[in-house]
Structure formats: structure tokens, C-alpha cells
Chain A
Amino acid sequence: MAAEQKMTYETWPASPEKQTLEAKNKFLGFWFFLGGETVLFASLFATYLALKDKVPSSDMALAKDLFEIPLAFIMTMLLLTSSLTSVYAMYHMKNFNFKKMQLWLGITVLLGLGFLGLEIYEFNHYVHEFHHSFTSSAFGSAFYTLVGFHGGHVAFGLLWITTLMIRNSKRGLNLYNAPKFYVASLYWHFIDVVWVFIFTVVYLMGMVG
């Protein structure tokens, strides 16, 4: 079955994301890539835990002074919901319903943008209200590197999903682009999982631990 072949609802397979050899390779390779990303974020978490609250002078803000539950909670909800909407998108992808897939991907992107906007507000808030910046202390460096790497991943994911949506808007689904949508949604879930850990380790443990 050639990847670029025109498909219909009847000919659409059960697992369009791994129908061709190229798709199988992409699927597996992307899982491995996420394995590597796990080590990357694990290293960043380790750095953060080692340098948490390590500041040069005692009048500088610590984790318990900085973080507030409401903002982190709203961000978490936005990102968790966006993961759910991307699941809906993949459900429609598997059912060969291109329009609904695009719709749910669009909602995913909007939620992701909301998250990113709040994160930018949050960083700005810390820098201006608490003088907690990337260069102010080892704690600041570690915080912005960990959360910033995650934010960078979110931004890249948004660009990626948007590119896929626009590129394929006129031609619909086929076995060539189905795996592309699928791995993009995998990536999005991964970002979400990392955020769950950031929420726990950075924000919750920052306030009570």
C-alpha cells in the first residue's frame, strides 16, 4: 500500500499511524526519542533539586516565596485538557474524520497557547516582583532552565502541530501524513507528562517541601 494513495473511510486501516514500513519506523523511532528526552528532563530535574533555594544572599526569594497554587493550577489544567483534546483529535484521525481532527487539534493549540502565555506572564512576574532571574542565583538558573526547557518544548510543539494542520488542510488524511499527526500528538502527551512532574516537584514541593 503506497503511502500517498488516496484513502476513503472504507479503506482506512485500524492503525493508520503504523501501516507502512516508514510509518512503523517513525512510530518506534519517536518512542526512542522520547526515551532520550526522558533522560534529558531527568537530568534537568536533578539539577533543579540540587540547586533549589541555593541563593547567594538570605534576602533573596526562595521557592516558598515565589510560587502560588492558583496560577500553577490553571496552567496545569490548560495543559492537561490540551492533552485530552489531542486524544480526541487522534480518535477522529483513526476514524478518517479529517475536519473533526483539525478542529480538536486547533483547540489543543489554543490551550497550549494559553499555557505558554501564562508561563511568560509568570516568568515576567518573578523577574520584576522578586528579582528572581536566570542570572540572579544558581536557584534562578536551575528554575528557568528546567521550566524554560519545558516551555521551549511547548512552543516547538505548537509550531509543529500548526505546521502540520496548515500543510495538510487542503488534502486530508492519507497514510503519509497520518503518522506525522500521530507522533506530534505523542510529543504533546510527553510534554504534558513532564509538566505533571514539574507541577509536583517544582510547585507543590516548592511550597511545602
Chain B
Amino acid sequence: MSTLAQKKGFGAVLWDYLTTVDHKKIAILYLIAGGFFFLLGGLEAMFIRIQLAVPNNDFVSAGLYNEILTMHGTTMIFLAAMPLIFAFMNAVMPLQIGARDVAFPFLNSLGFWLFFFGGVFLNLSWFLGGAPDAGWTSYASLSIASEGHGIDFYALGLQISGAGTLIGGINFLVTIINMRAPGMTYMRMPMFTWATFVTSALILFAFPALTVGLFLLIFDRMFGSNFFDPAMGGNTIIWEHFFWIFGHPEVYILVLPAFGIFSEIFAIFSRKRLFGYSSMVFATVLIGFLGFMVWAHHMFTTGMGPIANAIFAVATMAIAVPTGIKIFNWLFTMWGGSITFTTPMLWAVAFIPSFVAGGVTGVMLASAAQDYQYHDSYFVVAHFHYVIVGGVVFALFAGAHLYWPKMFGTMLNEFLGKITFVLFFIGFHLTFFIQHFLGLWGMPRRIFTFLPGQGLETANMVSTVGAFFMAAAVIIMLINIVITSVKNEKVGNDPWGDGRTLEWAIPSPPPFYNFKQLPLVRGLDAYWLEKMEGKKGMSPAEPLGDIHMPNNSFIPFVISLGLFVAAFGAMYRAEHSWGIPVLIFGMLITLGSMFVRSVKDDHGYHIHKEDLEDNNDKGVKA
């Protein structure tokens, strides 16, 4: 990226990124935007912990606290964790299967811009009359009654960004099925690619439920329908079902790619083939399947009755089995390996006990009878932060360190990386371990303050101190990024020295066409196999020939912008006369640009063989 910046002016680079359809650049866009929202969500988390540091605190008001809490959850799940995972999927998956790009480069770009405009729309609520305040789950009984436009921002913003995610999921599925390099059978795919595959399938079948739920919410709040209004025959439980039919697969959408990243890391830094590869694949698919069968365990106290509760409880506990298979496989991968404790490996090793702790409380919560005790207490908060931070966020940090050289051509500083890890690891357990006990002692979740003399002071203060450790860790990581980018010491193909999969066989960052000749894959850990036979790189599977590339396009940006504009029209329809015209205008922008895309032929272009011959894989052109 930086070499490019030196050659071109800022405007040219900006235009390049606004119109790019290259999966590697879209990965960088996802990383930057997701990283930005991660900092925003982190800031909101800090406000929550500062408010709860001491009893009767008035750092923020009760109403503002509800907004901060809602936006923390919504931002972290939809605008930070998912885009950051998409960043790694985009950056790495096509390289791992030996593809030159994803199946639909144009849609890849569209997916990013939809997410981005949805996220910006949601966060504009802070400046336009108040953020949503009904929690990230936005239960209809609360959200229908919420005044102002906060919930409208939530529903419309998530609708736009959700469409982007769905497009991304379809794109990855087709890429993996249709574009694997010669010899790359399904059972030779790296675990991260498998995780991407199953995750994408989950996205495809989970997100439409959210889409419908959000539509019903939008219609109820902005267009006068009565889905959730009991007085008119409506039923608020419908929202809960749709939200969790989406919401439970969503947690596997987040954690399966995390498992994938860790599987790569354990194998690389133990210098061993991943233990039990087939059972890992099986476990991933099984988790994805069972993930759809358990949504109502979020609703045990809704009153579904003992039979439904029992079925969902048993199904939930069953997920512990494939997850346990994975945990043991990772442990056995390390067993007898020659382990190097690099920064990614530290995160991976720390992930196992942290995530297992979250899993254990998960099985406790799965027991419907016990859940009546834990429900809506800090025990639940502790549980889901153990799995999401201890699983997903650890993986994002690990993945950032692992793949930074592949994405940017330079290594993050290992010393600072380890400091980040130590601070974050301590801070994480300090913050959330004590919250289990806070919950058991009776502290309800989502409460904006508590009284003195109830035995909650010390534990809450401990939790807040822990949060500052995590904040410090993130700041050091940012410093690390700045230092690394300024130094910009270039690295070769395989900077960790023990890369096993195809992405490490090509330059860092890869040339924009990825592979000059598609590689011939001869087994699992294709690059490692070649290295073990003393070869320097992959054998080509095809003679050098012209490479077909897609053209850049500004249309994805415009399509997304149109929906962004239309969302404002829908939201202000009831109180401003310009609402409907703006809604129509926005939809016309979107449909019009889709029309242009449809009628204008776009055949892409070819890189000619002769040009490829001159260019000996220098890689700086990316």
C-alpha cells in the first residue's frame, strides 16, 4: 500500500480504493473500517465501565447509558467483529485456495460499501437526536416504545449493512466451490478456508431472518403496520424468534473463522500438521448445522413451556461435543511439536483456557432450569464476553499479527505485540472473570448504576481496572502499527518461516493477479509439502498465459449511497414532507446504478503473457 502511496498522489489512491474490486484492497478497507468501529465500540465499553466503577455514579445519565450500551453491542458485533473477520477472509481465503480473485469482485466491493454506509448511518444517530437504546437485541416490546429516531437508525442501518454481509457470504461460497486451484480438493483446503465456507453458509441462511425481522420493525415504526402491537393483534415474540434465528448462528459466524485462524496458527508455530484434520472439518460443519437448532435457548424465560425448553437445552449442550473435539485437536497439534511462542501463538495458546471457560458457562446456561437463575444477570455478560472476546477478539489480534506481513508486506513488532498480548490477557480476565460472581451475587445486566452497601463495589472496581488494561493494550497495538508502517521493512514470501499453505508461497503483499501461474496442489499444507521436498515454491499447474482481470468500478459505492439516502427519507417520512421524495430519490439512485451495471457490458481486461514475463514476481505492484 505504501509503495503505491509514494508513486501516486493522495487523490489517485483514494479513487483507487473507492473503485477497487481487488480482494486484497477490499480486505484493507474492511480492516480500516472495522478497526475504526472497533475503537468506537471500545470507547463505548470504557464509558460503561467508568460509569459502573463506583456506586451511584453520574458519569453518564441513565438514558445515555442505555444508548451507549446498545451501541457498544451493536457496533462490536455488526461493525467491528464481522468486518474484521471479513478482512481476513478477503485477504487470505482466495490465496489459500490458489485463486486470482473472488468469484464476484464487483459484489465484493458492493458488500463492503453497503456495510460501510450502514455503519455510518447507524453511528450518525449520535448526532441526529440520539442513538438506539433498546439493547443490541432490540426486543420489540422495548423498541416499539422507544421515542426519537434511535431505533430507526438501528433498523435501517443494520438492514443496509446486513445486505452487504449476505452478498459477501454468497461470494465466498461460490469462490470456494468454483475457483480452487488444480489439485485443491475439499479435503485439502486449509482450515481457515473451511471455516470461511461454513461461515458463509451460515450467513446465507441466517441473515434473511434478520432481514425480515428488521423489515417488520421498520414497517411498524415508520409505516404504521402492527406486527408487534398486541392491541392490534400483533405479537412481540415474533421479533425475538427472528432475532435469535439469526442471532444464534451469528455467534458461530463470528467464532468459526476465529477457530480457523487458530487452526492455522497452531499448525504453523508447532511445525506440525494440524492434528485430526478430518475431524476438524467434521466438527466445523457440525457446529454450523447445530447452530441453527438452538436459537430458543436465548428465550427460556419467555414461557415456551418445558418441552420446547428441554429440546433446545439438549441441542445446545450437544454443541459442546464438536467444540470439545476442536479443543483436543489443537492441544494434540501442539503435543510433540517444536513450538515457537510468537505473538500469534501466544494469543492462540491463551485462547484455549479462556474459550473453554466461556464454553463451560455456556453449558451451565444451556440448562433451562438453571438459566432461570442466571437470566439477565452479569453471569450472562461474563459468559458471552468470555466466548466473544476470548474467542473472536483474541483471534482478530492473532490474525492481525499473523497476516499483517501478507497484507502489508511488513511485520508488526514482536516485542510490542507481546506487550499488547500480556496487557490484554490480564485486562480481559480481570474485567470479566469477576463478572460471573457479580451475576451470581444478583447484579442485573444492563443496569446503569448500583447502590452502595450491597457488596458489589469492589468487584465492579476490579472489573473497571481490567478494562483500562485492555484499552492500554489496544493503544500499544496502534503504536505498533504506526511504528511498523513508518519503518516499513519489507519481508519475503514466508516471513514466519514455517508457512504451510498457499498464501505463503507468493510475495507479501501478493501481486494484484495473485498467481502468475495457478499452483498445482499435491496435498494438505501444499506449500509445506513442496518445502519438505526441497523446492522453493509451488509447481505451476498451467503454462504462462494471459490473465483475465475485472475492471474497477465506482458503481458499488453509488448503489450503497443511494440506500443511505433512501434510509433518511424513510426515517423522516412521518414528520417532514421531504421524506417520501428523498426515499424515492435514494431508491432511484440505487436502482438506476444497478440498471447501468446491467446494461453496460463489462468484460474486464487481460494482462498479457509478455508483460508477466518481464515482471519476476516482485509483488510491489499490488
Interface residues of A in 6-40 (CB under 8 A from B): 21, 24-25, 28-29, 32-33, 35-37, 39-40
Decide: A35 near B205, CB < 8 A? Known: A4-B601, A24-B178, A28-B177: yes
The stretch that binds A, out of B11-19, B137-145, B224-232, B531-539, is B224-232
The reply to whether B103 and A40 contact each other, CB–CB distance below 8 Å, is no
Is the C-beta of B508 less than 8 angstroms from some C-beta in chain A? no
CB distance from A156 to the nearest CB of B (A): 9
Query: In the assembly, what is the distance between CA of A50 and CA of B484, in Å?
Result: 57
Decide: A37 near B233, CB < 8 A? Known: A47-B227, A145-B225: no
CB distance from A164 to the nearest CB of B (A): 8
Query: In the assembly, what is the distance between CA of A54 and CA of B235, in Å?
Result: 9
* A-contact bits for B204-221, CB 8 A (1 contact / 0 none): 111111011101100110
Tell me whether chain A's interface is mostly helix, strand or loop, or mixed: helix
Is the C-beta of B289 less than 8 angstroms from some C-beta in chain A? no
* A-contact bits for B349-386, CB 8 A (1 contact / 0 none): 00000000000000000000000000000000000000
The stretch that binds A, out of B165-173, B445-453, B554-562, B570-578, is B165-173
* A-contact bits for B476-493, CB 8 A (1 contact / 0 none): 000000000000000000
Decide: A176 near B603, CB < 8 A? Known: A47-B212, A141-B219: yes
The reply to whether B229 and A138 contact each other, CB–CB distance below 8 Å, is yes
Is the C-beta of B598 less than 8 angstroms from some C-beta in chain A? yes
Is the C-beta of B599 less than 8 angstroms from some C-beta in chain A? yes
Query: In the assembly, what is the distance between CA of A140 and CA of B224, in Å?
Result: 11
Query: In the assembly, what is the distance between CA of A140 and CA of B229, in Å?
Result: 13
CB distance from B177 to the nearest CB of A (A): 6
Give the B interface residue count (CB, 8 A): 43
The reply to whether B173 and A142 contact each other, CB–CB distance below 8 Å, is no
The reply to whether B235 and A138 contact each other, CB–CB distance below 8 Å, is yes
Is the C-beta of B341 less than 8 angstroms from some C-beta in chain A? no
CB distance from A34 to the nearest CB of B (A): 10
Is the C-beta of B234 less than 8 angstroms from some C-beta in chain A? yes
The reply to whether B225 and A25 contact each other, CB–CB distance below 8 Å, is no
Query: In the assembly, what is the distance between CA of A76 and CA of B227, in Å?
Result: 27
Is the C-beta of A43 less than 8 angstroms from some C-beta in chain B? yes
Query: In the assembly, what is the distance between CA of A44 and CA of B104, in Å?
Result: 29
Interface residues of A in 117-171 (CB under 8 A from B): 134-135, 137-142, 145, 160, 163-164, 167
**Partner pick for A25 among B104, B235, B601, CB 8 A cutoff:** B104
The reply to whether A141 and B226 contact each other, CB–CB distance below 8 Å, is yes
The reply to whether B601 and A176 contact each other, CB–CB distance below 8 Å, is yes
CB distance from B128 to the nearest CB of A (A): 26
* A-contact bits for B144-166, CB 8 A (1 contact / 0 none): 00000000000000000000001
CB distance from A144 to the nearest CB of B (A): 8
**Partner pick for B208 among A3, A24, A36, A145, CB 8 A cutoff:** A36
Closest to B103 in A: A25
CB distance from B241 to the nearest CB of A (A): 8
The reply to whether B204 and A55 contact each other, CB–CB distance below 8 Å, is no
Query: In the assembly, what is the distance between CA of A47 and CA of B227, in Å?
Result: 8
Interface residues of B in 179-221 (CB under 8 A from A): 179, 204-209, 211-213, 215-216, 219-220
Decide: A25 near B603, CB < 8 A? Known: A39-B208, A43-B212, A50-B238: no
Is the C-beta of A201 less than 8 angstroms from some C-beta in chain B? no
Please name all residues of chain B whose beta carbon is closer than 8 Å to the beta carbon of A40 when the two chains form the complex. Answer: 208, 211-212
Query: In the assembly, what is the distance between CA of A39 and CA of B166, in Å?
Result: 12
Please name all residues of chain B whose beta carbon is closer than 8 Å to the beta carbon of A164 when the two chains form the complex. Answer: 598
Is the C-beta of A56 less than 8 angstroms from some C-beta in chain B? yes
Closest to A133 in B: B224
Please name all residues of chain B whose beta carbon is closer than 8 Å to the beta carbon of A160 when the two chains form the complex. Answer: 598
Interface residues of A in 44-97 (CB under 8 A from B): 44, 46-47, 50-51, 54-56
Query: In the assembly, what is the distance between CA of A126 and CA of B194, in Å?
Result: 51
CB distance from B434 to the nearest CB of A (A): 40
Please name all residues of chain B whose beta carbon is closer than 8 Å to the beta carbon of A54 when the two chains form the complex. Answer: 233-235
The reply to whether A25 and B174 contact each other, CB–CB distance below 8 Å, is yes
Closest to A4 in B: B603
Decide: A51 near B209, CB < 8 A? Known: A32-B173, A35-B204, A43-B242: no
The 10 closest A-B pairs by CB, nearest first: A54-B233, A138-B233, A141-B225, A43-B212, A40-B208, A39-B208, A138-B234, A25-B103, A135-B224, A29-B174
Assuming A46-B241, A137-B226, A138-B235, what are 4 further A-B pairs, CB within 8 angstroms? A29-B171, A51-B235, A135-B226, A160-B598
Which A residues contact B (CB, under 8 angstroms)? Answer: 2-4, 21, 24-25, 28-29, 32-33, 35-37, 39-40, 43-44, 46-47, 50-51, 54-56, 134-135, 137-142, 145, 160, 163-164, 167, 176
Which B residues contact A (CB, under 8 angstroms)? Answer: 103-104, 166, 170-171, 173-174, 177-179, 204-209, 211-213, 215-216, 219-220, 223-227, 229, 231-235, 238, 241-242, 245, 595, 598-599, 601, 603
Subset of 9 A-B contacts with CB under 8 Å: A25-B179, A35-B204, A36-B208, A39-B205, A43-B208, A47-B212, A54-B234, A56-B233, A167-B598
